[in-house]
Structure 1
């Protein structure tokens, strides 16, 4: 058996058992893929896939176990490559960060800029998506590190640690009646047209839960995944808006919009940093985490990645 066979089996599973797509993804021929998989099955003495003619139909029960072992082997092969690259190029490489728009726009500019100053030969790629997409990019190894508020801790394949806390803010036009109220309640918010986040983004579940606990139904007239979009429609008079506090830090005092904290109503949110379990972290990944939050350090990350630490509470 060899790594080529492992790659073919792994990719076939990823491509929904489509051998044509598998061959294209690996720049080889379909007959070559079929032959390699059959040879591996013969060597192992089990069928990894059930077949209908020449087509793969499903993954067998022993095939599921084989795939788990292949995932571990291929991950360790990747780790070996990264170790070699790190020791041959200590301060060079690529850091791929998967995150949501809010984090990319309002949180990461500072840490990314500082990291580039420390490691000028490190190229940085930002991949934006929903929290679930962020998790999937980490699991698929499209990204090295993920940052989001929701979902990440729900994936067993990931190691996640709390990075920082934040609260929601209510934003409204300066002439809106609520702009004169210092401590706003949920009943007042529910009485107004509301512009808010899409259910899968930026603490929306916490918003919905708070209203439900008070038996209130917010009048959500527009949902968006982007804080800037929410603020734009608030400026246009569509309603009041709820955004992450990071999205209003740069707003000028006395500007078009007024903001009020909602932590007393909606509670605190926790942004989490995440890595694929078992991944090898390069020096500049540790540095990025330390730049992101003073709660994170190399020792803590190493213990978390090794499975030694269990309590990462803020």
Structure 2
């Protein structure tokens, strides 16, 4: 048994059981991958994969157990490599953050600026997607951590901490009738076409749930992943916008007005999540503390060790 065999098994699953693609990803030959997997199966005395002819189609029941062990072993190997790199260069390396557009555009710029000033030799990358996509990036070791809303809190294999609490705001033109109301209600909003987030982003599930509870059917005219797009269409007079409060700036958005809507949709929590059992470089701890000073290295370690209720906003 060797590490190459374990890598081939893991990559075959990641490439949806396509050995040709697995070989390309690992810069080797398809016959070599196939042979190595067969040799591993013979050594273990089990079939890891189900087959149709020469093609693999899925995991057998013992194969699923093997995959779990392979993932743990490879995670430990990756951790060893990162330890070596960190101690060889304490203040340099690569750091990849997977996050949503809203977080990248509005919540993170100041934090990233402060981080880069502290660690100018670190090569930082931002990967964007919806919550499930970016959580997968961390689970596949394509990113070091993920930042999004509550959607990532229950993701299997991740441990997460809350770092920022926010509410939605309703955005309208300066002369809109809603600005004259003393107390905005969901019924008021239901009278207007709405422009808001796509279902996967920025607490959209809270918006839908709030209307459902009141048996209201909002007129969703347009959905987008970008608050700037939403604000643009509101400025054009196409509807009333609902965006994350962090995405509204009084100076930048002078042609719009914002109405707080936390009383309608509740408060949202942005979270930072890490792969369970992952080895964290020192500057990753620093970045998390820059997100929220209460998220100390000790606190992060406690959560990584399974003490998930040790911190809340």
Q: State the TM bucket, normalised to the shorter chain.
A: over 0.9
Alignment of 1:282 onto 2:253 = no
| Partner residue, 1:238 | 238
Tell me how far 1:57 sits from its aligned partner.
2.5
CA–CA separation in structure 2 for the residues paired with 1:313 and 1:212: 28
List runs of 5+ in structure 1 lacking aligned partners.
none
CA–CA separation in structure 1 for the residues paired with 2:193 and 2:272: 34
Q: Relative to structure 1, is the Cα distance of residues 44 and 120 closer, same or farther in structure 2, using a 3 angstrom cutoff? A: same
Q: Relative to structure 1, is the Cα distance of residues 166 and 20 closer, same or farther in structure 2, using a 3 angstrom cutoff? A: same
Tell me how far 1:128 sits from its aligned partner.
0.8
Tell me how far 1:214 sits from its aligned partner.
1.4
Tell me how far 1:55 sits from its aligned partner.
1.3
CA–CA separation in structure 2 for the residues paired with 1:23 and 1:123: 28
Tell me how far 1:51 sits from its aligned partner.
2.1
List runs of 5+ in structure 2 lacking aligned partners.
none
Deviates more, 1:209-218 or 1:104-113: 209-218
| Partner residue, 1:31 | 31
| Partner residue, 2:251 | 252
Q: Give TM-score scaled by structure 1 length.
A: 0.97
| Partner residue, 1:271 | 270
CA–CA separation in structure 1 for the residues paired with 2:128 and 2:46: 41
CA–CA separation in structure 1 for the residues paired with 2:165 and 2:183: 21
Secondary structure at the residue paired with 1:28? coil
CA–CA separation in structure 2 for the residues paired with 1:305 and 1:253: 39
CA–CA separation in structure 1 for the residues paired with 2:311 and 2:152: 14
| Partner residue, 1:307 | 306
Tell me how far 1:253 sits from its aligned partner.
8.4
| Partner residue, 1:85 | 85
Tell me how far 1:272 sits from its aligned partner.
0.7
After superposition, where does 1:60-79 map in structure 2 within 5 Å?
60-79=60-79
Tell me how far 1:102 sits from its aligned partner.
0.6
CA–CA separation in structure 2 for the residues paired with 1:60 and 1:254: 56
Aligned residues: 313
Q: Relative to structure 1, is the Cα distance of residues 254 and 12 closer, same or farther in structure 2, using a 3 angstrom cutoff? A: closer
Tell me how far 1:16 sits from its aligned partner.
1.6
Secondary structure at the residue paired with 2:96? strand
| Partner residue, 1:142 | 142
CA RMSD of aligned residues (A): 1.3
CA–CA separation in structure 1 for the residues paired with 2:78 and 2:253: 52
Contact 1:150/1:201 (<8 A) preserved: no
Secondary structure at the residue paired with 1:154? coil
Q: Give TM-score scaled by structure 2 length.
A: 0.97
Tell me how far 1:50 sits from its aligned partner.
2.3
| Partner residue, 1:178 | 178
